[in-house]
């Protein structure tokens, strides 16, 4: 199937798998939660949630902006629109020492270059050598602290064998480590990843082993297709749900958000 699905409901708009992924991620964010947002897909999904169903969602960026309401998708955590539209701005040290590390953030929202079966994340290097990698990525930033200290974590990433790997080339941010109760044994405050949301479906950790389990497929996607895009033997739930397709409201809001540019004002 192409990246643009032909599935329609009545007169509903056609949509792409990338749009389905972003909308599914946005739906996972509850109203009134405090969400520490990473740039890229997490920022798009979080801003979409605030526009559609969660107007009181508090967006926090690690640069120190709390309650940001950007008119366009920020280019980085240092984009001026975040400070201009925030309820308040705090210093970086306060953001980490007072807000994040003590567990005052409900949801951490992260992307990834690689994910393994226990929702550990690599955003550092691709390739077997740290000193001479095939690709050097942006790195950790605040992601390890977000993954370790937020009440729960959502991960949004396109699903492919290159990204969903048996073994990470580098462990940047801990999900569930080697599985089981490793987070507790390491003394991490946060609850860990609640879901990994992809362009094919949703994976959630088993409550005991913490291995990711395929629990939901987006419309038109099969379990075999999800397995083919995964670098390990993917466990499926006994009953796999189907994601409700995007509504026209969600699609219009997402496309408007992605078209917005600096200088736009509503």
* Beta bridge partners of residue 34, listed in sequence order: 58
The residue annotated as part of the active site, out of 19, 62, 145, 211, is 62
Is residue 149 classed as helix, strand or coil in its secondary structure?
helix
62 classed as catalytic: yes
N-to-C CA span, the chain: 37
- CA angle, corner 145, sides to 198 and 177, nearest 5? 65
Instruction: For the beta carbon of residue 197, count every other beta carbon within 10 angstroms.
Output: 31
Q: Give residues with Cβ within 8 angstroms of 265, minimum separation 6.
A: 71
Tokens 């020492």 appear where?
Answer: 97
| Positions of E strands within 42-185 | 58-61, 65-66, 88-89, 107-110, 114-115, 121-122, 125-126, 135-136, 152-156
Candidates 33, 150, 141; CA nearest to 101 is: 150
Active site positions, annotated: 62
């Amino acid at each position: 199937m192409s990246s643009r699905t032909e599935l329609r409901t009545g007169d509903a708009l056609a949509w792409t798998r990338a749009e389905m992924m972003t909308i599914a991620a946005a739906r996972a964010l509850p109203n009134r939660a405090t969400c520490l947002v990473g740039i890229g897909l997490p920022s798009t999904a979080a801003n979409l949630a605030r526009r559609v169903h969660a107007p009181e969602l508090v967006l926090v960026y690690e640069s120190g902006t709390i309650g940001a309401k950007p008119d366009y998708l920020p280019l980085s955590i240092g984009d001026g629109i975040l400070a201009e539209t925030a309820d308040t701005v705090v210093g970086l040290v306060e953001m980490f020492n007072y807000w994040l590390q003590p567990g005052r953030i409900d949801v951490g929202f992260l992307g990834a270059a690689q994910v393994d079966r226990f929702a550990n994340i690599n955003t550092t290097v691709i390739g077997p050598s740290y000193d001479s990698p095939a690709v050097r990525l942006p790195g950790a930033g605040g992601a390890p602290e977000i993954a370790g200290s937020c009440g729960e974590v959502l991960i949004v990433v396109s699903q492919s064998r290159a990204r969903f790997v048996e073994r990470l080339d580098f462990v940047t941010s801990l999900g569930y480590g080697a599985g089981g109760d490793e987070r507790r044994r390491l003394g991490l405050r946060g609850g860990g990843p609640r879901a990994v949301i992809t362009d094919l479906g949703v994976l959630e950790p088993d409550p005991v082993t913490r291995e990711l389990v395929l629990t939901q497929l987006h419309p038109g996607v099969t379990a075999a297709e999800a397995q083919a895009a995964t670098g390990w033997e993917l466990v499926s739930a006994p009953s796999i749900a189907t994601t409700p397709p995007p509504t026209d409201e969600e699609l219009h809001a997402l496309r408007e958000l992605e078209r917005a540019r600096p200088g736009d004002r509503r």
